[in-house]
Amino acid sequence: MTYDFDRFLRYEEMASWLRTLAAAHPTLLTVESYGQSHQGRELLLATITDTRAGEHHTKPAHWIDANIHAVEVTGGVAALYIIHDLVAKFHAGDPTVVEALRTRTFYIAPRVNPDGVEDALGDQPLFHRSSVRSWPWADGHRWPGLHPQDVDGDGRILTMRVADADGGWMQHPEEPRVMIPVGPLGAPTGVQRYRLLAEGVIENFDGFTIDQPRDPAGLDLNRNFPAGWGVDVLGSGDHPMSEPEVHALVRAVKARPNVCGYNAFHTAGGFMLRPSSSLPDSQLPPEDVFIFKKFGEHSTPLTTYPVHSVYEDLTWDKSRVMGGAGDDWAYDHLGVYSWTTEFWDAIYRATGEHSPTDVWYVGPTPAQDLAVCKWSDEHAPGSYVAWYPFQHPQLGAVELGGVDAFHTWTNAPSSRLKAEVAPHTEVAVYQAMASPRLEIKLADATALGGDVWRVRLGVANTGWLPTDITQHARRKKIVLPAVLEIAAAGSAAAGPLDLVEGEARVRIGQLEGRSKHLLDGGAMSDGTPDRYLHTWLVRASGGTTISLTASHQRAGTARTTITLGS
């Protein structure tokens, strides 16, 4: 199967593509199931690393997931692109990617919510906010009112407009496909007003009122994580991790304690969002806010996406904050730098100006909508549809048309998909390479007489971040300390290793990374906060081989051997 990242794959096609790629590159890529969705689809996880240089769990890792929201399928394309791009660049000899896959691991879950995505990509699509499970009404009862769906069977969910003297909308004077709000003074004399409705059917229509019974927006898997979960959060579910997709994802990440960074792929807006969703920056460790901004200084020039705090910049009403999101969980519970990437900014592509941070609440201005319409006519023809008559089963004569938002505002059009997602491989590699990495830098043994030897093991964190990643993790003691171990590894004739002084397994705490030097007031006297030297006294005969191991749940595992007297 040929896939050029210019379309959205249905589930079976995506799964086949992943498994075929893995079969062609068995030392670089594996694909496994980490759980099942509400409807029983396998939740797939790609693991990318050079296994010839070590198994995936022995290296620091970066986690990416996508498509937790049903209609935000550009993020899934980005996840698949990164998987393919890492493999292709490794085989092409790209030095940065070769080093990244030699020393790091990438875990990528390209479709967290396959049920919702499958409905969104169906021949007659249904758009869910996230999960397809009926909630909070478990019986799936269809309440009276508007239920959006593809009523004319053309594979799109557009807008229905109904001529109404009291309607809140009128045509843009320059472009009839664009509708603009009627202001306080009403429409100009002779201008038709309309009522706009999502394309769909009306249950139990009374001939006068049209409710929109969304209760209030369905179950949102990205409000079901245990961090900040609350019953007052829109779509949060029955309890934290009540949904199989989130329960499986949390367990999959926790089963991989080497995860040092987390990125969830969403749409839209063209933002890189960071925690917190519920706290101002003044209540976060200032060192962590500083490092978040440092990551942004790298990613924004590559992607054009500005970095925003969810709470500081995107929360409309700070008395009603969001909870239960994946990025907050990763930062709060794992103590890693976590991101939500909101792919695609139609306004920016059409005007050169980024979407305002309140766009999710107030929508585009008429000028921005008009600009996107004109841009789409050139780059995504058919995205804005001329109004055409339709005999609606409940409303009678209406018109269908307007913007196909799924392919224009919510997701990048096919002509722009690959270009939109391509820069994010470099973002992922950069953040992965910032992770801590434990290496053995010194290992020796000195004879002291009487078959007693002084054995030394010197280890270093050669990564950019400290081994516990964030100050939040350090304050909350989330991350276990590094461990050093010594054991006999020679022939059985050499006998067991007799420790004269010291324990066979010792904890050494956390090691700083190079990022510390950005926070030392400009001093250029480093010292060695990234290193640790440990000494054992052992009694063993010459020729005994000793195994030395340094391990850290985040920074990886390193091993070496020394032979006494060699």
Which three-class secondary structure state does DSSP give residue 432?
Answer: helix
- Report how far residue 81's alpha carbon sits from residue 505's, in angstroms, rounded to the nearest whole number: 42
**Around 281, how many Cα atoms within 13 Å sit in the side-chain half-sphere?**
14
Radius of gyration of the chain (CA): 28
The token pair that represents 90 in the structure block: 């490794």
- Residue partners of 155: CB distance under 8 A and separation at least 6: 123, 124, 125
Answer yes or no: are the C-beta atoms of 25 and 101 closer than 8 Å: no
Q: Do the domains spanning 11-122+218-346+413-433 and 438-563 agree at the CATH topology level?
A: no
Instruction: Provide the whole-model pTM.
Output: 0.96
Give the pLDDT of the chain (566 residues) as one tens digit per residue.
Answer: 789 999 999 999 999 999 999 999 999 999 999 999 999 999 999 999 999 999 999 999 999 999 999 999 999 999 999 999 999 999 999 999 999 999 999 999 999 999 999 999 999 999 998 999 999 888 888 889 999 999 999 999 999 999 999 999 999 999 999 999 999 999 999 999 999 999 999 999 999 999 987 655 689 999 999 999 999 898 999 999 999 999 999 999 999 999 999 999 999 999 999 999 999 999 999 999 999 999 999 999 999 999 999 999 999 999 989 899 999 999 999 999 999 999 999 999 999 999 999 999 999 999 999 999 999 999 999 999 999 999 999 999 999 999 999 999 999 999 999 999 999 999 999 999 999 999 999 999 999 999 999 999 999 999 999 999 999 999 999 999 999 999 998 544 444 689 999 899 999 999 999 999 888 877 777 889 999 999 999 999 999 999 999 999 999 999 999 999 98
**CA separation, residue 483 to residues 418, 461, 503 (Å):** 44, 13, 11
- Report how far residue 269's alpha carbon sits from residue 289's, in angstroms, rounded to the nearest whole number: 22
Among the four given CATH numbers 3.40.50.1370, 4.10.110.10, 3.40.630.10, 3.50.50.60, the one describing domain 11-122+218-346+413-433: 3.40.630.10
- Report how far residue 355's alpha carbon sits from residue 105's, in angstroms, rounded to the nearest whole number: 34
Per-residue model confidence (pLDDT) at position 495:
47
Please state which CATH class domain 438-563 belongs to.
Answer: mainly beta
Per-residue model confidence (pLDDT) at position 494:
43
Domains of the chain by residue range: 11-122+218-346+413-433, 145-214+375-405, 438-563
Answer yes or no: are the C-beta atoms of 399 and 207 closer than 8 Å: no
Residue 32, strand partner residues = 45
Residue 194, strand partner residues = 163, 169
Per-residue model confidence (pLDDT) at position 214:
65
Per-residue model confidence (pLDDT) at position 492:
45
- Report how far residue 33's alpha carbon sits from residue 10's, in angstroms, rounded to the nearest whole number: 17
Per-residue model confidence (pLDDT) at position 216:
55
Per-residue model confidence (pLDDT) at position 523:
73
